[in-house]
Amino acid sequence: MTRTDHSASRLSALTALLADETRATMCLALLDGRAWTGGELARHAGVAPSTASEHLSQLVAGGLLAEERQGRHRYLRIADPATAQLIEDLAAFAGPPAGTASSLRARSASTALARARTCYDHLAGRLGIAITDALTKRGLLAQETGFALTDQGLRWFAELGVDLAGAPRGRRPLARPCLDWTERRPHLSGISGAALCAHAFQAGWCTRIGTQRALAVTDLGLRELRARLGIEPDALSV
C-alpha cells in the first residue's frame, strides 16, 4: 500500500467513526471539556448501555476518545485539543440544525447553546464571539494573519491574573481561530482561549447549565465583561 493509499484508508476510517449519529452525539456532548461516564453518554444519546459501550470502544480504538477507569466507572473524554478542534470544525461545516426544534424544551436548549457554551476548553457561541470581537477592537488580539495576541493583549491577560507564560505549550498555539458553528465566525481558542475559559469558571463569571455544554453568564460575569472589555449585556442575547 502506498503512502497515499494509507492516508486514504485512515481518513476513511476516521470519517466512518463520526458517520454514525450516536457516536457523533457522544462526541459533541464531550465538547463540554469534561469526562463523562458511559452511562451518562448512553442516556444522553438515548441508547442502551450495552450499545453505548460498543460505540465508545470504537471511538477509543479510533483515537477520538480517551478513557480513564476509577473503580467500577469508566470515564470518557475527548482525546486532545486537536481532536476537539476537528469535531467542532466539522460541526461548523455541517451548519446549524435544519428547521425548528420540535418542543419548547428543545428550543430552550438550542437557544442556550447559541448564547454561550464551551467548545471543549474555550468559550463559544454569542459569548465567545463577543469576547473575540472586543479583544480585537481594543487591540488585544490581531486577526490580520490568523489570530495573535498583541503585547497589549499579553498584558491584559497578566492583569487579569492569567499566566500565559507558565501555561503548557506543546504544539498548541497561543491563539487560534475556531469557527463557531452557530455564529459562523471564528472565536478565540488555543492556549489563551482555554486559559480565559478556565478563569471565567474560577472567577464565577460563568456557570454550567445542567449536563449540557451551555453556559449562563452570572451577574458578576456581566459586570466584569463590561468593565474589562466593554461588552454590553445585550450583546449576549440571542
30-72 pLDDT, tens digit each: 988 888 999 999 999 999 999 999 999 999 999 999 998 887 7
Residue type, 70: Q
Per-residue confidence (pLDDT) for residue 218, from 0 to 100: 95
Residue 160: predicted pLDDT:
94
CA dist 238 and 231 (Å) reads 15
Confidence band (pLDDT; 50, 70, 90) for 85? confident
Main-chain phi, psi angles of 216, to 5 degrees: -115, 135
Residue 106 pLDDT greater than 60, yes or no: no
What's the pLDDT tens digit per position in 168-203?
A: 666 788 999 988 888 888 999 999 999 999 999 999
pLDDT for the residue 57: 94
> How is residue 160 written as a grid cell?
487579569
pLDDT at 177: 92
Q: Tens digits of per-residue pLDDT, 68-84?
A: 888 777 899 999 888 98
pLDDT exceeds cutoff 70 at 107: no
pTM attached to this predicted model: 0.75
* Ranges assigned E (strand) in 33-132: 36-37, 65-70, 73-78, 117-119, 122-124
Check residue 4 and give its pLDDT.
Answer: 59
Residue-level length of the chain: 238
How far is the C-alpha of 31 from the C-alpha of 202, rounded, in Å? 19
Q: Does 233 have pLDDT greater than 70?
A: yes
Q: What does the pLDDT read at residue 15? A: 86
With CA atoms as reference, report the closest residue to 117 among 65, 187, 175.
Answer: 187
- At 212 the pLDDT is 67
Task: State the average pLDDT over residues 139-156.
Answer: 94
- Among residues 149, 89, 147, the alpha carbon closest in space to that of 119 is found at 89
CB atoms within 10 A of CB 11: 10
CATH 1.10.3720.10 fits 3-79, yes or no: no
Helix ranges (H only) for the chain are 3-19, 21-29, 38-45, 49-61, 81-94, 104-115, 125-137, 151-160, 190-202, 219-229
Kindly report the average pLDDT of the chain as a whole number: 87
What was the pLDDT predicted at 3? Answer: 59
Pair 45, 134: CB distance under 8 Å: no
> How do residues 14-31 score in pLDDT, each as one tens digit?
889 999 999 999 998 898
CA angle 79, 216, 137 (to 5 degrees): 85
Domain boundaries, the chain: 3-79, 99-236
User: Distance between CA atoms of 171 and 211, rounded to whole angstroms?
Assistant: 30
% of the chain surpassing 70 pLDDT: 87
3-state class of 187 per DSSP? Answer: strand
| Angstrom distance (rounded) from CA 179 to CA 89 | 6
